[in-house]
Structure 1
C-alpha cells in the first residue's frame, strides 16, 4: 500500500495497523491527532488514486455520504488527497466500528432465524431509508458492507464508492458495479440503479439471513448475474422451514425482477417488514454480535469489491514473542476458570431464553397464518399463494361475472385477513366470465331451447315477428338463436329464439285493375296494359282498317274489372 503505517496524512491522521484489505483499498486503524479520537482510514489503491476521474468522483461521493447522519450508517468524517509523498494518497476517514462484518457473523453462526434476521434487517433498512430520503443510492448492499459492533450496533458502510470506481472506468475482475450475488436485474442488464435496486439487494440479504446462503450461486460471476436476470428468487422456507409465509412473500416482493413491483424504497420495505413482524408477533431479540474475543484480534471493515474485505490479524507485524513465560499463580487459574464458567453460564441462559422466546412465538402465533388477498388473482396463482401461506385451496365454486375474466378469483371463504391454523382449507369462488349463448340444434322444441338458455344464465325471448319460413326445420321448432351460439352476453341478457313457420306456401297470383283505355289509340292502350301485365288483342269494328293506329272504341273486360296478371284484354278499334 502506498501509505505505510505510522504515516501522518494531511498533517492530521496517523495511520496504525491494517484492519482489513480489499480489492480497491486498505483500511487502517488510525488516530485523528487534532481531536485525539480513533478512526478508520480507508486508503485507496495507488492505481485509483492516480486516476483524475476517480479522484473527482471519489470526492463527490464522499461529500454525499457525509450528508447521511443516522445511527445505522457509518459516519464519514473527512476525505483527503495527500500529495506530500512520492505518490498521491487518496483516503477516507470514517467512524471506527469495533466489531466485525455481518459476513463474519454469518460465517460463525449460519442462518440467524426469524427474530434475529428481522432485528438485523430492520436496522439496515433504517440506514438505507435515510440515504434514500436524501436521494442517495448505495448500489452494493451486502453482508460485507454491514458492520456489527460488539455492543450490537448495526451500520451500513461504503456509500457511493462502487459508483466512483465504475464511473471512472476503474472496474476490475470481481466488480460489476456491485457484487453479483446481490445485484438487481436492472444493474446487470443496463447498469442503472435506483432506490429499488437497493431494495432488491436488501431482499437478497434477508434471504441469506434466513437461510444462511444467497439464493443464486454459480461457477462464474456471469452465470450468477444471468440468474438474477432470468430466475425468480425462491421462497426462503424451501431451505429454512421455520420461515413463515408472510416473510416468504416479503422476500419475493422485494426481489421481484420488475422494479415497479418492488417497494419504492427502503423506507417502504421497512414499513412492510415491521407490519409483518407485528402481525406475526415476532419476539424482539438483540442483534447477534461477533464474539467478544475478536475485539483484540481483528477489526473487519467493509471495503468495495465483490470479494469484500478480508480481516487481517490485528497489530503491527513483527517477531513472535517468546512463549516460554512463567506459569501464572494458582489464584489466577481459579479466576480464569470462574470467568470462563460464568461466561458459559450466561451463554446458556441466553440460548435458553432465545429458544423459549422462539418457541413461544411458534406456539402462540407461528402456527397461525391469515388468508391473503386473492380477489382478481387467477385460480392457479391463488392456490400457489395459499400454499405459500400454509393453507390449502379447497374445491372451487364457479359463477358468472360480467367484469372478471374467466379463472379469476371473486371471493374466498373465509375472507381475506381471517386468521387460520396452517393447513386449513380455503374455498374459492372463481369467475367463468360472462355467460355465452348455448348451442341449440335446429329443430329443438321451443320449451327445451328456453330451458337451455336459462341454464346458461340468460333470458329466452320470442315474438311472432321472429318466426321464419324454413323448408327443413319443422314448424314450431327453433331454427337458430340471436345472438349466435358461443357469443358472450351480459348475465341475464336476452337471447331471441327464431322459430320455424314451416314450408313457405307458393305465392298468390298477382291481380290488377283494368284501366279505361277507350278513346286512346291502339298503340297507347297496348303500352299501358302491357305495363300492368295484361296482354291485348286489337280488332277492328269495320271489315277494313282505315289507318295504322286506330282509336279504341270498346274494351273487354271493361274498365275497373279486377283480373289476374296476364289476362287478355280485347280492344275494339275504329
Structure 2
C-alpha cells in the first residue's frame, strides 16, 4: 500500500489497489506521459533480486505485447523501478473496468449453457491468437479472465507463469500453476504447449457448466494426483441442470490425459465448440458484468479483490505416485506449488501389523510334507506370475508403442458403406455429415476429419462428410409461409431470393403467401444457386360488369357471379330504360375495385311508365287505362263526352314518361 500516490520510473502514478494475490498486486494508475488510465501489476519483492526472473519477465512481456486481439488484455510497458525502498518489477497493462470470471461464478454458480458457451468462445478466441503467435498461457483459470463493460471478455497474464517459474524460488523438481486447472503433463513433467492450455480451457468449461471444477481436495497433491491418474468425468454428472451430451463429449475430448488426443490448439477447440453450438441451436448470449464489479474508473473508493492464496511450489507427480488420501475436499485453489518431500509424505504411510503367534510344533515328517506342498504351490504361483507379467509387459509395450494409435484410412471417393467399414476396421468411431456437392453423386465420401493418414487414438470419433449430390428445388406448397419456404431452400444448400416483379394475383392463395418457386420444384441446381420465391398479391382487381337494361334479378345474379355484393340503391327515371329495368350501378359499370376494397355495388332501377296506344278508344276507357299506369289524362276537343273517340295523343304511344305525367288526347265528336 506504500506505493499508492507514488511514481514508478517517474512516469506511472499509482492511484489505488485493485487486487492482490500470492505473486503480485494490481493497482489502478495513470500513465502521466500519455495521460491514460492503466492497470499496474507489481510483482512480489522476492522476484526483484532475481536477474533470471527479470530477463524472462522482460522477454515474456515483449512477446505478450505483440498480441493484438480484442480478447487479450493489452500489455503497454514493463520495467524495474529503483527506489530507496527497494526494486519493484512491474507490468503496465490495459485497465479493464469490471470484474473477473471468478466473481461471476461466485455470484451465480453454474452458468446457463448459452452463457457458458458465449464466455468460452471469447476465451478460446484470445487463446487462439496467442497460440498462433507461439505463446502458451500456462495458467488459464477464472481469475485470469476479466469481464468488462458491454460483456467484453479478456484474458490476462500471458507468459507470467513461465517468467515466475524461472526465478530462483523454483528448481528443476518444481512446477508452478493453479492445481485445479493443470494438465497432466504439467504436473508430471512440467512440459506444456498449446494442448496444455486446451486442457485447462476444458476444465474451465466444466466449471462454468457445473459451478465447480472436476477435482477438489484438502491439499494440492490430492488434486494434482487426480489430474494425472483419473479421466475427467462428464459435466452432466455434477450439474444440477441439463447439459447436452455433445457438450459432455466436447469437455471429455478437451481434457484427455494424453495430449495427442486433445484438439491441437485453442482455434481447433473453438471450431469444435462453435460447430457443437450450431448443431444444438445454442443462441449467443451477452456476458453480464459481475454485480460486484468495479465499473466506475473515476471513483476514489475502489474494491480490493483477493485473487487467491500465495504462490507455493509443487513437485511433479508421475503415473506411479500413489493416490493420496485425505478428508472431505475443499474448493479450487490458486497458483500453488509443493516440494517433493511433501509429495512423499502424503503419498503413502507404512503400516505395521502385529505378527500372529506361529502354529503348534510339528514332527519332522509333517514339516517335510508341508514344505514340499508349499514349494509346489509357490512354484505354480511364480509360473503364473511370470506368464502374467510377460503378457502385461508385452501388452503395455504394444499399447505404448503403436497399440493406442490408429491411422485414419483413405476413404475419399469411396461409397459411404465401404468407408464406414474401413473406419470400423481401423478401430475408429464416426459420425456422418451430409454435404451438398455439385460434382459428386450421392453417397460418395467427400472428406474425413481428421484428415486421411492422420494418427489418432483408437476409438476416436471422426467426421465423415458424404455427398448428397446437387441440390434440387424443394417442393414448397402454394400458400406456405415465406419463412418456411426460405428454410426449405437454404436446407437444400440453395439461396432464397425475392423478385417483386414475379409476384402475381391469386384468388386461392392469400396475399403475402407463397405462390410458387422459380425454377419449379425438383429442378437440380448448383450449390448456392438462387431460387426465386414468388408471393401472392391476393385476388386481382375486379371491374364492375354492365347490367344496364337487365331486370333486377338478372343484374343481381350477374354481379354476384362477378364476386360483388349487390344491393337495391333505389329507383330513378330514365327515358331509355323500361320500368323495373336497371338504369345504372354504383360504382358504375367498368369501374375497378382494388383487392381488399368494398365489394358492395348499388343497383338502380327505372320507374319510367310506357305510354300505351290510346287511339280508337273511348275517352272514359283511355282515362281508366292511364290511371292504372299512374298517369293522368287531359281530354281536348269540342265535344268531350265520355263516349268520344280518341284519334290522337301526346306523348305518343311507346313513350317513357315519369309517373303522374298527363297524357293529352284529342277526341271526336
Normalization by structure 1: what TM-score?
Answer: 0.53
Segments of 5+ residues of structure 2 without an aligned counterpart are 297-301, 313-332, 336-419, 432-457, 460-464, 469-669
The equivalences for 1:293-372 within 5 A come to 294-295=294-295, 297-298=302-303, 300=305, 305=311, 307-308=333-334
Q: CA deviation at 1:377?
A: 6.1
> Where do 1:483-502 residues align within 5 Å?
none
- Counterpart of 1:282 in structure 2 is 282
Residue 167 of structure 1: how far off its partner (Å): 1.7
SS of 1:277's equivalent? helix
Contact 1:5 1:17 survives alignment (8 Å): yes
For the 8 Å contact 1:80–1:91, the answer to whether it is kept is: yes
The whole-number CA distance in structure 2 between the counterparts of 1:216 and 1:11 is 46
Contact 1:27 1:301 in 2 (8 A): no
Note the alpha carbon deviations across 1:44-90, whole angstroms, 9 max, x for none.
Answer: 11111111111111111111111111110100000011113331111
Asked whether the 8 Å contact 2:21–2:306 carries over to 1, the reply is no
- In the alignment, which residue of structure 2 is the partner of 1:120? 119
Map Cα deviations across residues 130-180 of structure 1 (whole Å, 9 max, x no partner).
0000000000000010000132110000011111111223349xx942111
Residue by residue, what CA displacement relative to the aligned partner does 1:361-401 show, whole Å, maximum 9, x if unpaired? xxxxxxxxxxxx998569x9989x9xxxxxxxxxxxxxxxx
C-alpha separation between the residues in 2 aligned to 1:374 and 1:93?
58
Answer yes or no: is the 8 Å Cα contact 2:110–2:208 preserved in 1. yes
Q: Is the 8 A contact 1:157 1:302 kept in 2?
A: no
> Are residues 1:35 and 2:34 paired?
yes
Higher relative contact order (CA 8 A, sep 6+): 1
| Distance in 1 of aligned mates of 2:466 and 2:230 | 29
CA–CA distance in structure 2, aligned partners of residues 377 and 243 of structure 1: 29
Note if contact 1:145-1:302 (Cα within 8 Å) is conserved in structure 2. Answer: no
**Structure-2 change in CA distance of 1:374 and 1:18 (3 Å):** farther
1:495-574, aligned counterparts within 5 Å? none
Which residue of the partner structure matches residue 23 of structure 2? 24
SS of residue in 2 equivalent to 1:247: helix
- Root-mean-square deviation (CA, aligned residues, Å) is 3.1
Give the whole-Å Cα distance in 2 for the aligned partners of 1:161 and 1:168.
11
Q: Which residue of 2 aligns with 1:67?
A: 66
Asked if structure 2 preserves the Cα contact closer than 8 Å seen for 1:179 and 1:305, the reply is: no
Structure 2 CA distance, aligned partners of 1:15 and 1:164?
Answer: 24
Cα drift, residue 40 of structure 1: 0.6
Cα separation, 2, equivalents of 1:45 and 1:122:
33
Conservation of the 8 A alpha-carbon contact between 2:27 and 2:40: yes
CA distance in 2, matches of 1:62, 1:153: 23
Give CA-to-partner distance per residue, 1:540-564, whole Å, 9 cap, x none. xxxxxxxxxxxxxxxxxxxxxxxxx
Distance 2:143 2:37 in 1: 22
* In the alignment, structure 1 residue 178 sits paired with structure 2 residue 183: no
Instruction: Map 1:163-562 to 2 at 5 A.
Output: 163-171=162-170, 176-240=175-239, 241-291=241-291, 294-295=294-295, 297-298=302-303, 300=305, 305=311, 307-308=333-334
**Hey, what's the Cα distance between the residues in 2 that align with 1:222 and 1:51?**
28
Q: Are the aligned partners of 1:122 and 1:270 in contact in 2 as well (CA < 8 Å)?
A: yes
Match of 1:52 in 2: 51
8 A Cα contact 2:76 2:92, kept in partner: yes
Question: Which secondary structure state, in structure 2, belongs to the residue aligned with residue 88 of structure 1?
Answer: strand
Query: Are residue 136 (structure 1) and residue 141 (structure 2) matched?
Result: no
**For residues 94 and 145 of structure 1, what CA distance do their matches in structure 2 show?**
13
Q: Is the 8 A contact 1:232 1:256 kept in 2?
A: yes
- C-alpha change, 1:47 and 1:374, in structure 2 (3 Å) is farther
Distance 1:83 1:224, change over 3 A: same
Moved over 4 A (4+): 299-309, 373-378, 380-383, 415-418
In structure 2, the residue corresponding to 1:83 is in which secondary structure? Answer: strand
User: Cα distance 1:65–1:17, how it changes in 2: closer, same or farther (>3 A)?
Assistant: same
Taking a change above 3 Å as real, the CA distance of residues 20 and 245 of structure 1, as seen in their structure-2 partners, is same
Q: Which runs of 5+ in 1 are unaligned?
A: 310-372, 386-407, 410-414, 419-574
Contact 2:199–2:254 (Cα < 8 Å) also in 1: yes
TM-score, normalisation: structure 2: 0.45
CA shift for structure 1 position 244: 0.5
Q: Check the 8 A contact 1:100/1:301 in 2, yes or no.
A: no
User: When the two structures are aligned, how many residues end up with a matched partner?
Assistant: 324
Residues 100, 299 of structure 1: 8 Å contact kept: no
Report if the CA contact (8 A) 1:101-1:302 is conserved. no
The structure-2 alpha-carbon separation of the partners of 1:305 and 1:100, relative to structure 1 and needing over 3 Å to count, comes to farther
Q: State whether residues 41 and 91 of structure 1, in contact with CA within 8 Å, keep that contact through their aligned partners in structure 2.
A: yes
How many angstroms does 1:219 deviate by? 1.5
Contact 1:26 1:45 in 2 (8 A): yes
Take 1:417 and 1:213, find their aligned partners in 2: how far apart are those partners? Answer: 43
CA distance in 1, matches of 2:38, 2:238: 40
1:145 corresponding residue in structure 2 = 144
Could you say which residue in structure 2 is the equivalent of 1:77?
A: 76
Contact 2:71–2:123 under 8 Å retained in 1: yes
Aligned partner of residue 234 in structure 1, secondary structure? coil
Q: 2: CA distance between counterparts of 1:229 and 1:308?
A: 18
SS at match of 1:151: helix
Q: Deviations 1:204-260 (Å, cap 9, x if unpaired)?
A: 000000000000111110110010000000001112241101111100000000100
Q: Distance in 1 between matches of 2:109 and 2:80?
A: 40
When residues 79 and 283 of structure 1 are mapped into structure 2, their CA distance, relative to the original with a 3 A threshold, is: same
Quote the residue 2:323 is aligned against: none
CA distance 1:238–1:139, change in 2 (3 Å): same
| Partners of 1:49 and 1:211 in 2: CA distance | 40
Secondary structure at the aligned position of 2:86 is classed as coil
Q: How many Å apart are 1:24 and its aligned residue?
A: 1.1
